């Protein structure tokens, strides 16, 4: 989204000619940058749109992809592509990577050159930093397996339940997926859009890989994962927003890719609203790559 | 003699490094780089120039259904992006 301000200058110049600029908000390309994580619901993706408006200070019209990512899939699957659509609704220009300079040239050809183009410094866009509600950099990060890719996962949503304040991301390398053996990264990331933090004054996060569940009581650990029970760190600070990350051994039969089931218990607190709640939440992790999961390559801290 | 031997070794080593660097730079960039693969997937998987946008929908910023084909009547610049 580095080119928003340059595009905005073109929008200002061509608004008088009726040109509209529409941003399509899609799945995150680089989750964990500035702490942002993939949304689980449409409402959460709409929160992302609001956050993009707030942090970028843009005046653009935003539309939001659905949770099946249909817009992304049907328009070329690229993270920062662009199209120019003519008044009849037909594509007249397209690019895999957005280029504001090229868009300006296109509009000069298609419509009219602007004599005195708006400059970014003319815009006075009111940008804002990402939210940060507690300390960061207090829990040591875990290195992912080389070439790790996101696995498809489903949060088990229960009607009327609280949101998944801490969101799971699971990754394995391509060879682990192919051969059925290797390390798996499991990370729980506090979603910054809820303005929540971990509560280190109580029990740390507990994670269990389940094989079978019988009601709420009879639970067997999944022996494909070792260790199948994990307990997070307990930092000395009372509150923080660092992810809780683990590296586990995964071994499964290549012909039997029964999904993993994972239960997590943790406390989340929101100081602005003055609450702290215990949560028990579950996920199903599919042993297949999530092609919309993005790549957490940079992992910039908040 | 010793000086001659070490000088020969140095010259040989420099020549090997020089050739390696030249070979490395002469190699074409791997065709399967992530960026190239994004571009080729985009070219294959996006509407062609002159085509109408597909009949699919998303949502506007308030959560109301938005049909892509409603983008008519004026020129529209449609840009994909996200927070990261």
Residue numbers in B near A48 (CB within 8 A): 82-83
HSE on the CB side for A146, CA within 13 Å?
1
Q: According to the model, what pLDDT value does residue A273 have? A: 96
Q: According to the model, what pLDDT value does residue A58 have? A: 82
Residue B33 lies in a domain: yes
Residue B75 is nearest to which of A33, A87, A94, comparing CB atoms?
Answer: A87
Report the domain count for chain B.
1
Domain boundary among A123, A158, A192: A123
**Of the candidates A143, A191, A154, A152, which has an alpha carbon nearest to the alpha carbon of residue A170?**
A152
Domain boundary among A123, A158, A193: A123
Residue A24 is nearest to which of B48, B62, B78, comparing CB atoms?
Answer: B78
The predicted model gives A161-174 an average pLDDT of: 97
How close does chain B come to A35, measured CA to CA in Å?
9
Residue B75 lies in a domain: no
B39/A52 Cβ within 8 A: no
CA dihedral for A214, A217, A218, A220, sign (positive or negative) = positive
A64/B58 Cβ within 8 A: yes
Instruction: Check pLDDT > 80 for residue B15.
Output: no
Size of interface A-B (CB pairs under 8 A): 204
- Can you tell me the distance from the alpha carbon of A302 to that of A193, in angstroms, rounded to the nearest whole number? 13
From the number of C-beta atoms within 10 Å of its C-beta (0-12, 13-18, 19+), residue B56 rates as middle
Residue A194 lies in a domain: yes
Query: What is the CATH number for A176?
Result: 2.60.40
Residue B81 lies in a domain: no
Domain boundary among A106, A123, A140: A123
pTM of the model: 0.85
Q: What is the pLDDT of residues B52-70, one digit of tens each?
A: 999 999 999 999 999 999 9
Q: Residue A228 in contact with residue A184, Cβ under 8 Å?
A: no
Q: What is the pLDDT of residues A259-302, one digit of tens each?
A: 999 999 999 999 999 999 999 999 999 999 999 999 986 455 55
Range of the domain at A268: 149-289
Q: According to the model, what pLDDT value does residue A217 have? A: 57
Q: How many helices (H) and strands (E) does chain B have?
A: 2, 3
B77/A84 Cβ within 8 A: yes
Q: According to the model, what pLDDT value does residue B27 have? A: 42
Helix (H) or strand (E) run with residue A4 in it? helix A4-14
One domain for residues A94 and A221: no
- Least CA distance to A77: which residue of chain B? B42
One domain for residues A118 and A19: yes
From the number of C-beta atoms within 10 Å of its C-beta (0-12, 13-18, 19+), residue A43 rates as exposed
- Can you tell me the distance from the alpha carbon of B68 to that of B76, in angstroms, rounded to the nearest whole number? 11
**Of the candidates A9, A7, A17, which has an alpha carbon nearest to the alpha carbon of residue A62?**
A7
Other CB atoms within a 10 A radius of the CB of residue B42 amount to 19
B46/A83 Cβ within 8 A: yes
Place of tokens 């200070």: A57
Instruction: Check pLDDT > 80 for residue A215.
Output: no
Residue B8 lies in a domain: yes
Strands A61-64 and B57-60: antiparallel
- Can you tell me the distance from the alpha carbon of A48 to that of A28, in angstroms, rounded to the nearest whole number? 10
The pLDDT-based confidence of A124 (bands split at 50, 70, 90) is: confident
Q: What is the pLDDT of residues B17-48, one digit of tens each?
A: 444 434 343 444 445 787 898 999 999 999 99
Residue A137 lies in a domain: no
One domain for residues A86 and A39: yes
Residue numbers in B near A36 (CB within 8 A): 83-84
**C-alpha to C-alpha distances, B12 to A67, B2, B17, B18, nearest whole angstrom:** 60, 15, 9, 10
Residue numbers in B near A107 (CB within 8 A): 75, 77
Q: How high does pLDDT run on average in chain A?
A: 92
One domain for residues A108 and A14: yes
Whole-number CA gyration radius for chain A: 22
- Can you tell me the distance from the alpha carbon of B58 to that of A23, in angstroms, rounded to the nearest whole number? 12
Place of tokens 């009607």: A159
Residue numbers in A near B67 (CB within 8 A): none
Report the domain count for chain A.
2
Residue B69 lies in a domain: no
Q: What is the pLDDT of residues A217-266, one digit of tens each?
A: 556 788 899 999 999 999 999 999 999 999 999 999 988 888 999 999 99
Query: What is the CATH number for A87?
Result: 3.40.30
DSSP at A292: T
Residue B77 lies in a domain: no
Q: According to the model, what pLDDT value does residue B14 have? A: 47
Residue A176 lies in a domain: yes
The pLDDT-based confidence of B8 (bands split at 50, 70, 90) is: low
Instruction: Check pLDDT > 50 for residue B1.
Output: no
CA B66 to chain centroid: 30
Residue B71 lies in a domain: no
From the number of C-beta atoms within 10 Å of its C-beta (0-12, 13-18, 19+), residue A274 rates as exposed
Q: According to the model, what pLDDT value does residue A216 have? A: 58
- Can you tell me the distance from the alpha carbon of A86 to that of A92, in angstroms, rounded to the nearest whole number? 6
Per the model's pLDDT, the better-predicted residue between A141 and A59 turns out to be: A141
- Can you tell me the distance from the alpha carbon of A11 to that of A4, in angstroms, rounded to the nearest whole number? 10
Residue A24 is nearest to which of B72, B74, B79, comparing CB atoms?
Answer: B79
B→A contacts (Cβ < 8 Å), by residue, are 38-39, 41-54, 56-63, 66, 68-69, 71-84
How close does chain A come to B28, measured CA to CA in Å?
22
Q: Where are the alpha helices (DSSP H) in A15-142?
A: 42-56, 70-74, 100-110, 120-123
Residue A296 lies in a domain: no
One domain for residues A181 and A275: yes
Range of the domain at B30: 2-51
Residue B10 lies in a domain: yes
CB neighbours of B10 closer than 8 A, spacing ≥ 6? none
CB neighbours of B41 closer than 8 A, spacing ≥ 6? A76, A77, A78
Q: What is the pLDDT of residues A178-210, one digit of tens each?
A: 999 999 999 999 999 999 999 999 999 999 998
Residue B79 is nearest to which of A18, A55, A82, comparing CB atoms?
Answer: A82
Residue A136 lies in a domain: no
Residue A191 lies in a domain: yes
Q: What is the dihedral of CA A43, A149, A209, A243, to 10 degrees?
A: -60
A111/B38 Cβ within 8 A: no
């Amino acid at each position: 989204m580095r080119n928003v301000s340059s595009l905005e200058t073109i929008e200002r110049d061509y608004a008088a000619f009726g040109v509209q600029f529409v941003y399509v908000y899609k799945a995150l390309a680089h989750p964990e940058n500035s702490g942002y994580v993939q949304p689980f619901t449409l409402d959460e993706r709409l929160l992302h749109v609001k956050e993009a408006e707030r942090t970028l200070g843009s005046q653009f019209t935003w539309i939001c992809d659905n949770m099946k990512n249909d817009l992304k899939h049907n328009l070329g699957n690229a993270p920062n592509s662009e199209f120019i659509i003519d008044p009849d609704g037909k594509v007249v220009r397209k690019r895999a990577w957005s280029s504001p300079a090229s868009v300006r040239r296109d509009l000069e050809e298609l419509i009219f050159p602007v004599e005195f183009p708006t400059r970014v410094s003319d815009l006075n866009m009111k940008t804002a930093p990402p939210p940060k509600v507690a300390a960061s950099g207090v829990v040591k990060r875990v290195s992912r397996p080389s070439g790790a890719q996101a696995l498809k996962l489903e949060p088990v949503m229960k009607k009327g339940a609280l949101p998944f304040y801490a969101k799971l991301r699971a990754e394995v390398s391509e060879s682990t997926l192919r051969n059925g053996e290797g390390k798996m990264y499991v990370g729980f990331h506090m979603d910054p859009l809820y303005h929540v933090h971990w509560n280190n004054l109580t029990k740390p996060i507990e994670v269990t890989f389940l094989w079978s569940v019988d009601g709420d009581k009879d639970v067997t650990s999944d022996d494909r994962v070792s260790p199948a029970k994990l307990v997070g760190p307990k930092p000395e600070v009372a509150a923080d927003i660092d992810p809780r990350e683990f590296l586990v051994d995964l071994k499964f039969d290549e012909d039997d890719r029964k999904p993993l089931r994972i239960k997590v218990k943790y406390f989340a607190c929101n100081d602005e609203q003055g609450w702290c709640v215990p949560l028990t939440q579950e996920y199903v992790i599919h042993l297949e790559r999530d092609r919309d999961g993005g790549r957490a390559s940079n992992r910039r801290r908040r | 003699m010793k000086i001659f031997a070490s000088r020969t070794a140095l010259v040989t080593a420099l020549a090997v490094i020089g050739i390696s660097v030249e070979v490395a730079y002469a190699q074409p960039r791997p065709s399967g780089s992530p960026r190239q693969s994004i571009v080729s997937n985009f070219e294959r998987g996006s509407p062609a120039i002159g085509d109408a946008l597909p009949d699919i929908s998303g949502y506007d910023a308030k959560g109301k259904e938005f049909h892509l084909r409603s983008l008519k009547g004026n020129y529209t610049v449609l840009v994909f992006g996200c927070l990261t």
